Structure 1
Amino acid sequence: MIQKYPVGIQDFEKLRSENFLYVDKTEFIYKMADIGGYYFLSRPRRFGKSLFISTLECLFLAKKELFKGLYIEDKWNWEQSNPIIRMSFSNIGHKYLGLKDAIDKRLDEIAEEYNLSLVAPSIDQKFKELIQKLSAKRGKVVVLIDEYDKPIIDYLGENPDKAIENRDIMKVFYSILKDADPHLKLVFITGVSKFSRVSIFSDLNNLDDITIDSRFAGCCGITEEELADNFVEELKTLDKQEIKRWYNGYTWDSSTSVYNPFSLLNFFRKKTFQNYWFETGTPTFLIKLAEKTQLYDFSEVEIGANALAAYDIQKLELIPLMFQTGYLTIKSYSPMSDVYILGYPNNEVKKSYIEVLMAAYSQSDLGYGVVYVDKIRQLLEKGEIERLEGILNTIFKSLPYELWQKENEHFYHAIIHLTFSLLGVYIQSEVQTSDGRMDALIRLKDFVYCIEFKLDESAEKAIQQIKDKGYLVPFSAENKKLVAIGINFSREKKKVEEVKWEVIKA
């Protein structure tokens, strides 16, 4: 039987009643719903946050028939239901109504659903009134807030004043929640990012942030175990390792690794390895911020725990934002120093982000870099190293002249790094050894290449560094030709001046 993949479906009732595939997340639901309380969860877009909220809604409305066969079915009191206040800031119309009016309208809509009328003059007091009246009429209230940060993200970069204005409106709106505690069963708030969390929820100091809580690390996304249990037939004919390389790798506790559900379901539907999640929308402010801060190497980024969770609309920090929006993930964590190592989660994100960044750095059309990278791959597969210099200089010749007037060493390193990082998406590529960090290591069927780049020095010096550091020694048993390549770039001539290579004996 062919499975129905719920691509883009965020409604739990629709998904279950129409027999779409559902990866059971109700164990996580049960952990928080049974206890109640106030929770905040940050996850990237398209990771199942809205479906998680929809599942909570159906649970508290006691729609038992939808939970048949799921973990929570025999653990929940289906005789009890709770009134729901559900708001999604992605579809309340804040852009054309204004945030205050959009919130006001949504509160009135919810009140009407429960045959209530609200008279309070401000959105915070109307929110409070709705909670109190629902509680008196139907019992303790469940508040579900989806995409809380959308009114801020929509204006980052282009209109920061509007983002700040919306942040302040939301702070007032949420300020009543703490004192409403006697009337509340559960508050669950999701968003893409955590910036402004302190200021927006400053009055809600009992909010439990479960973003990097190991108990909920697998609540969104698809784990390796869930993949094996739910896609048995698909995995019989498809390359599991390649699927993992492209779509796995996200983790919020440095232990539980999950697949991007949107990309994975699209892949199973189309059977083609390509960019699915990334193409649904990359915030342009992230790329502009990367250019502004001159950051381009995200393979191994160190950041302290406090910095990872610190956000200020008026002083945006690129690395925390890239982590929260899903372009970087946790690779490791040192409890002693409280430092995280971040990196790209998988091939899909790495390839797509590098392509966008290359286009931004070179002021060219998206995808131009892939053409040259593929030519480099073909040359290296054939061992035609003598043609490498020409291809590299073609890349630099295609760049607008004015870029060379304002950029220098940093610009050269950025283009070279991004080119060979993109090459590493298609082939085995490593850049770390016990003796230090090499510029590029490329492993092909018949060759292992180690490449070192120099600026205004010499290709011979680059080759000597490879030999002195023994970069190729660990690969001597692979029965391949080991080749050291030195590349020297001339700052004055603005071109690759010299490419030399040497076969290294094992």
Structure 2
Amino acid sequence: MKLKKLPIGIQTFSEIREDDYVYVDKTGIAHALLQNYKYVFLSRPRRFGKSLFLDTLRNIFEANKSLFRGLAIENQWNWDVSYPVIQISFAEGKIKSFKDLEDKFEEIFIYNQQRLGITCQFEARDRRCFSELIRKAHAKYNQKVVVLVDEYDKPILDNITNTPLAQEIRDGLVNFYSVIKGSDEFLRFAFLTGVSKFTKTSIFSGLNNITDISLDKPYGDICGYSQQDVETTFAPYLEGVDMDRLKEWYNGYNFLGNRMYNPFDILNFIAKDHTYSNYWFESGTPTFLIELIKKQSYFLPNLANLRVDQKLLNSFDIENLDLEVILYQSGYLTIGNVTQDEDDDIIYTLVVPNKEVKTSLNKYIITSLYEDNSLKAKPLSRALREQNLESFKLALTSIFASIPYNNFIKNDMQNYEGFYASVIYVYLQSLGLNIIGEDVTNQGRIDLTIKMDNAIYILEFKVDATDKTNALQQIKDKDYASKYLDQQKPIYLIGIHFNSHEKNLSGFEWERV
């Protein structure tokens, strides 16, 4: 049996359908969306299929029925009615100035005038051209207009490290997007996608009637591939693959529907003869996140057990960037579970989605912050697997001896336990190990817990400690090991002392329980 082609990088729905590419049917979800809403916003990380879904909507509204043969929506939609569609996309190119933004709007609205056979009185770079285009399209086609906006926030994200320019571009976008609300009587539907989530006090201040479906359970699978998709649609492409390993590497994104795979990973994994690699991570470099980690002297073990409230639902503030929210929105963290606290506030526990992101992100941090190629992490893994604590100590000593602190730190962070815990955390995470930072017990918080298949390691750190603050003794006094006694594995208690002057280990004690 001849297999269909893989649509790697293809975001055009008609090309996928006409040229016999694999297509995971999202049209049932699209139909439900169109039946229930008029103004919709969707946030998803990059390369998750937002652009393809948007183009699918365009073809539905333009009544291209032949493309939907055999799909869920085929017999549910009225194909006798065609709507004029205005397409706005910032996916291509990079906006480097406010003039670039105006030039981009000019390009967008000239293109739409040509598509719809309409000539605007106002210049294409003028927001009034957008408004005029909507009204004239409504009059010409005698149907309400559809507006589809792809990567609405990319001009801001392109300049997020330049706060004044990002603010100027944000204000320019607000000016244009406000046209959508002002054109309500002429519109059938508007759909906006991006990476960051909106807040009604910033970029979407004029669109207070828009519905954010990013974490609505019925639309949790709107982009990406579910486990069922992988095991059915892609079954012929994955013969002989260890599905548990595939799931560990690439599954895990949670938008309150099924756990999802990023399509870019699955398609490339198949195309590269089932080779495990960091396909999605390598498609975009998170340099901005590294700058934030440096600037905030961020305590990296927090990322192993992070709890946030509903601020997750809001866009980050350009003037006060929130690292945790950006990590979530950009796909480096995802939702582990959802609970309600004693005040009935919704609390999200954020986790790293899968092995690809865990290993790749932490290797990138090691390379960027500590100027190391991360090969020094390998002896750590070997020592832990072999339960060789002397080798573990030597590996840690080697790591700290190699870090050029002054190249990246301009404060006294190296005087605090958090710095040393962060270094150890990222090296262990880069190996894909199961790490718990600030591990909660009924007696307090363990600095770091490492859960291996054959052993558990409980680590406590002290910097410039006195005799009264012994790290190993604290683990014993607070009985941290009791939390794991039912695991029926060896438990190692490790107290590590650091000297801020020497910037390395000054003491290493351990006991086995």
Q: Establish whether TM, by shorter chain, passes 0.5.
A: yes
In the alignment, does 2:109 pair up with 1:107?
yes
AA aligned opposite 1:81: S
Where does structure 2 lack aligned partners over 5 or more consecutive residues?
A: none
- Residues 82, 142 of structure 1: 8 Å contact kept: yes
Total equivalences in the alignment: 492
Q: How far is 1:104 from its partner?
A: 2.1
Contact 1:42–1:194 (CA<8 Å) still a contact in 2?
yes
CA distance in 2, matches of 1:389, 1:330: 34
Query: How far does the alpha carbon of each residue in 1:201-231 deviate from its partner, in whole angstroms, 9 at most, with x for none?
Result: 2222211111111121110111122222212
Secondary structure in structure 1 of the residue aligned to 2:188:
strand
The aligned residue for residue 88 of structure 1 is: 89
Match of 2:327 in 1: 322
CA–CA distance in 1 between the matches of 2:243 and 2:440?
Answer: 27
Q: Is the 8 A contact 2:385 2:452 kept in 1?
A: no
Once residues 233 and 390 of structure 2 are traced to their aligned partners in structure 1, the CA distance between those partners, rounded to angstroms, is 50
Q: Which amino acid aligns with 1:261?
A: P
- Partners of 1:230 and 1:202 lie apart in 2 by 41
Name the structure 2 match of 1:147. 151
Please, which of 484, 491, 495 is the counterpart of residue 486 of structure 1?
A: 495
User: Which residue matches 1:408?
Assistant: 415
Q: Distance in 1 between matches of 2:76 and 2:12?
A: 22
- Which residue is 1:355 aligned to? 363
Contact 1:145/1:190 (<8 A) preserved: yes
Aligned ranges 1:278-293 → 2 under 5 Å? 278-293=281-296
Partner of 1:262: 264
Cross-structure match for 2:39: 38
Instruction: State how 1:100-139 maps to structure 2 within 5 Å.
Output: 100-121=102-123, 123-138=126-141, 139=143
Measured in 2, the distance between the counterparts of 1:288 and 1:195 equals 23
User: Aligned partners of 1:237 and 1:465: how far apart in 2?
Assistant: 51
Q: 1:256 to 1:149 in 2, by over 3 A?
A: same
Give CA deviations for 1:261-290 in whole Å, capped at 9, x if unaligned: 111221222212221111111332222112
Alignment gaps of 5+ in structure 1: none
Distance 1:240 1:452 in 2: 37
Q: Quickly say closer, same or farther: Cα 1:494–1:248, change in 2 above 3 A.
A: same
Offset, 1:301: 1.4
Q: Residue 309 of structure 1: which of 314, 317, 320 is its match?
A: 314
| Contact 1:195/1:313, CA 8 A, preserved across alignment | no
Distance in 2 (CA, whole Å) between partners of 1:430 and 1:312 is 29
Give CA-to-partner distance per residue, 1:50-90, whole Å, 9 cap, x none: 00011111111111121111111111111211111111112
**Could you tell me whether the CA contact under 8 Å between 1:84 and 1:141 is conserved in 2?**
yes
User: CA distance change for structure 1 residues 492 and 102 in 2, over 3 Å: closer, same or farther?
Assistant: closer
Shift of the alpha carbon at 1:200?
Answer: 2.2
Residue in structure 2 matched with residue 29 of structure 1 by the alignment: 30
2:317 is matched by which residue type in structure 1? D
Name the stretch that deviates more: 194-203 or 320-329. Answer: 194-203
Native 8 Å contact 1:135 1:183 kept in 2:
yes
Mapped pair 1:473 → 2:481 = no
SS of the residue corresponding to residue 200 of structure 1 reads coil
Q: Is the 8 A contact 2:305 2:436 kept in 1?
A: no
Distance change >3 Å, CA 35–CA 417, structure 1 → 2: closer
Ranges of 4+ aligned residues in structure 1 off by more than 6 Å: none
1:141 partner amino acid: V
Give the 5 Å matches for 1:214-233: 214-233=217-236
In structure 1, C-alpha distance between the alignment counterparts of 2:127 and 2:401, rounded to whole Å: 59
Q: Do the aligned partners of 1:433 and 1:471 also contact (CA within 8 Å) in 2?
A: no
Quick check: 90-99 or 325-334, which moved more?
90-99
Give the structure 1 partner of residue 383 of structure 2. Answer: 379
Q: Structure 1's 386 and 459: CA in aligned 2 closer, same or farther, altered over 3 A?
A: farther
2: CA distance between counterparts of 1:151 and 1:201?
Answer: 15
Deviations 1:293-347 (A, max 9, x none): 2221211212221354143212212111111111111112224222222121111
- Aligned amino acid, residue 408 of structure 1: N
2:471 counterpart of 1:441: no
Check if 1:54 corresponds to 2:55: yes
Offset of residue 471 of structure 1: 4.4
SS of match in other structure, 1:470: helix
Conserved 8 A contact 1:466-1:484? no
CA distance in 2, matches of 1:69, 1:79: 18
- Let me know the Cα RMSD of the aligned residues: 2.4
Q: Which amino acid aligns with 1:304?
A: D
- Cα shift at 1:359: 2.9
Matched letter for residue 119 of structure 1: Q
Report the CA distance shift for 1:450/1:2 in structure 2 as closer, same or farther (over 3 A).
farther
Give the whole-Å Cα distance in 1 for the aligned partners of 2:294 and 2:499. Answer: 23
Deviations 1:334-376 (A, max 9, x none): 24222222121111112122122223332x04xx22x121111
CA shift, 1:470, in A, is: 1.9
Q: Cα 1:487–1:94, aligned 2, differ >3 Å: closer, same or farther?
A: closer
Q: CA deviation at 1:450?
A: 3.8
1:392 to 392, 396, 401: 396
SS in 2 for 1:98: helix
Cα separation, 1, equivalents of 2:33 and 2:44: 17
For residues 32 and 485 of structure 1, what CA distance do their matches in structure 2 show? 54
Change (3 A) 1:95 1:294: closer
- Residues 453/60 of structure 1: CA separation in 2 closer, same or farther (3 Å cut): same
Distance in 2 between the 1:67 and 1:29 partners?
12
In 1: Cα distance, 2:174 partner to 2:392 partner: 57
Structure 1 distance, partners of 2:487, 2:511, is 15
CA–CA separation in structure 1 for the residues paired with 2:276 and 2:84 = 43
The one-letter amino acid paired with 2:331 is: G
Q: Please report how far the alpha carbon of residue 21 of structure 1 lies from its aligned counterpart in structure 2 after TM superposition.
A: 0.8
Cα pair 1:92 1:106 within 8 Å, conserved: no
User: Which residue number in structure 1 is paired with residue 66 of structure 2?
Assistant: 65
Q: Helix, strand or coil for the counterpart of 1:499?
A: strand
Provide the residue aligned with 2:14 in structure 1: 13
* 2: CA distance, partners of 1:220 / 1:347: 20
Quote the Cα distance in structure 2 between the aligned partners of 1:430 and 1:341.
13
Percent identity, aligned pairs only, is 36
The correspondence of residues 190-201 of structure 1 with structure 2, limited to 5 A, is: 190-195=193-198, 198-201=201-204
Deviation at 1:36, TM superposition (A): 5.1
Counterpart amino acid of 1:474?
Answer: D
